C-alpha cells in the first residue's frame, strides 16, 4: 500500500468544503502518511512484508496517532509525513490484537490539529461519510455506509460490529472514516466485496472508533489492554461449502505443533458443534485466556479425531518495539 502522489479521485468523488458542515481542510490534514520498516526475521514479515505504508490519524493535541495495527506490528522504524511535508519519526506505542487498532507516538512536532473522535453507534446504512487518506483532498473520497455487521477474519479475529463503506478507497489501511459532523467514526482495515442491491461492489471495512474508548488509557500506560490475552492457536481458517477448513497454519504456532494439517475440517470445539468463523473463534476464546487448553474435533481423510492444543499469547511471537 505505497502512497504515490500523482493520482487523484475524480473531482465529483472528492468532498467539497462547501458541502461539508465542518472544517474539511483541518480534518484532511489530520491524516498522515505512515511508513514502517520491519526486520526480515520478524514473525509477520512473510505475510505482511518488511515495508508497510498506510495512514494514521492524529487524535490528540500531543500528536498521538491512531492507525490499523498490522501496519506497525514488529516495526523497527516508523516515519510519519504530513500533508505539508513535515517528516517525523514515530514509535509504535501499542497494538491491540482484539480490536486490531494501533497507536503511534510521534517523536517530534507534526504541527497538525487532531481530529475529534465521534461514535459509530448511531451510524446507519446509507449515511454519507468521507474516507480520508494522506495526500490532501485529492485522496479523500465521498462514500456511504453500506452495512454495519459482525466481521470475522480468518486470522482469529472478530468484531461484533464493523462498518462497511463504498465506493472503495484504494489505500484503505489506517484511513480515517469521518461522519457528517466531522468526527472520526472508524479506522480503515480492509478492502472487501459486499452485496448491495443484488450486485457485488468493492468497499472498505472500518474498525469502529467506539472500541478504542474502553482501552485507550490502558494502551497508553501498559502498551496493551489490561484484559487477559486471548487464547491463540495460530490457525488460518475459512468457510467452504458449509465447513470450517484449516487453510493455513502459523509457523511454530500451537496448532502446527499439535499436528494440525492444511485441509483439516473443524467439527467441534470443546465438544460442541461450531458453524461459522465467528462462532469458532469465540468458542476458542471461551476456553480461557492464553495458555488454556482447547480441544478440537477434526475430520481428516474421512476419519474424525480429537486434538488437544495448548493455546498461546500471540504477542509472545512478535518482536517488541524499541524506543530510539
For the chain, which domains are there? Answer: 11-114+214-222 (2.40.10.10), 128-212 (2.40.10), 235-317 (2.30.42.10)
How big is the CA angle at 205 (ends 200 and 209), to the nearest 5 degrees?
150
Mean pLDDT score of the chain:
95
Question: Cell numbers at residue 31, please?
Answer: 491524516
Per the omega criterion (within 30 degrees of 0), is the bond before 167 cis? yes
Contact between 168 and 41 under an 8 Å Cβ cutoff? The reply is: no
- Asked whether the predicted pLDDT for residue 251 surpasses 50, the reply is yes
| Mean pLDDT in residue range 301-320 | 95
Helix (H) or strand (E) holding 37: strand 31-37
pLDDT digits (tens, 9 = 90+) for 6-41: 899 999 999 999 999 999 999 999 999 999 999 999
Task: For residue 277, report the phi and psi dihedrals to the nearest 5 degrees.
Answer: -60, -45
Residue 105 pLDDT level (bands cut at 50, 70, 90): very high
- Asked whether the predicted pLDDT for residue 57 surpasses 80, the reply is yes
- Cell 448511531 sits at which residue? 122
Contact between 138 and 14 under an 8 Å Cβ cutoff? The reply is: yes
- Asked whether the predicted pLDDT for residue 323 surpasses 70, the reply is no
| Mean pLDDT in residue range 131-149 | 97
- Coil vs helix vs strand at 300: strand
Report the percentage of the chain scoring pLDDT > 90: 92
pLDDT at residue 196 in the model: 81
pLDDT digits (tens, 9 = 90+) for 180-211: 999 999 999 999 998 888 889 999 999 999 99
**What sections of the chain are H helices per DSSP?**
24-29, 45-48, 216-222, 254-257, 277-286
| Mean pLDDT in residue range 296-320 | 95
Residue 1 pLDDT level (bands cut at 50, 70, 90): very low
Amino acid at each position: 500500500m505505497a502512497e504515490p502522489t500523482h493520482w487523484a479521485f475524480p473531482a465529483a468523488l472528492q468532498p467539497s468544503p462547501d458541502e461539508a458542515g465542518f472544517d474539511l481542510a483541518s480534518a484532511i490534514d489530520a491524516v498522515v502518511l505512515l511508513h514502517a520498516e520491519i526486520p526480515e526475521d520478524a514473525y509477520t514479515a512473510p505475510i505482511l512484508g518488511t515495508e508497510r505504508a498506510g495512514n494514521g490519524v492524529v487524535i490528540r493535541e500531543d500528536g498521538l496517532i491512531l492507525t490499523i495495527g498490522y501496519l506497525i506490528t514488529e516495526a523497527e522504524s516508523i516515519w510519519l509525513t504530513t500533508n505539508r511535508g513535515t517528516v517525523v519519526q514515530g514509535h509504535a506505542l501499542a497494538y491491540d490484537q482484539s480490536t486490531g487498532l494501533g497507536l503511534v507516538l510521534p517523536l517530534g512536532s507534526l504541527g497538525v490539529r487532531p481530529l475529534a473522535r465521534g461514535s459509530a453507534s448511531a451510524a446507519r446504512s446509507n449515511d454519507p461519510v468521507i474516507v480520508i487518506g494522506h495526500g490532501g483532498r485529492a485522496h479523500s473520497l465521498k462514500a456511504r455506509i453500506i452495512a454495519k455487521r459482525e466481521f470475522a477474519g480468518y486470522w482469529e479475529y472478530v468484531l461484533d460490529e464493523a462498518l462497511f463503506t463504498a465506493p472503495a478507497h484504494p489505500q484503505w489501511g489506517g484511513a480515517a472514516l469521518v461522519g457528517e459532523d466531522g468526527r472520526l467514526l472508524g479506522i480503515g482495515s480492509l478492502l472487501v466485496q459486499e452485496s448491495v442491491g443484488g450486485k457485488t461492489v468493492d468497499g472498505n471495512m472500518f474498525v469502529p472508533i467506539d472500541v478504542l474508548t474502553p482501552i485507550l488509557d490502558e494502551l497508553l500506560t501498559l502498551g496493551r489492554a489490561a484484559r487477559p490475552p486471548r487464547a491463540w492457536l495460530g490457525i488460518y481458517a475459512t468457510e467452504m461449502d458449509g465447513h470450517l477448513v484449516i487453510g493455513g497454519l502459523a509457523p511454530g504456532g500451537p496448532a502446527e505443533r499439535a499436528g494440525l494439517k492444511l485441509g483439516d475440517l473443524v467439527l467441534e470445539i470443546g465438544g460442541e458443534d461450531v458453524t461459522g468463523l465467528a462462532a469458532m473463534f469465540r468458542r476458542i476464546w471461551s476456553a480461557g485466556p492464553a495458555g488454556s487448553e482447547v480441544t478440537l474435533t477434526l475430520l481428516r481423510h474421512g476419519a474424525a479425531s480429537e486434538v488437544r492444543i495448548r493455546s498461546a499469547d500471540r504477542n509472545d511471537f512478535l518482536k517488541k518495539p524499541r524506543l530510539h
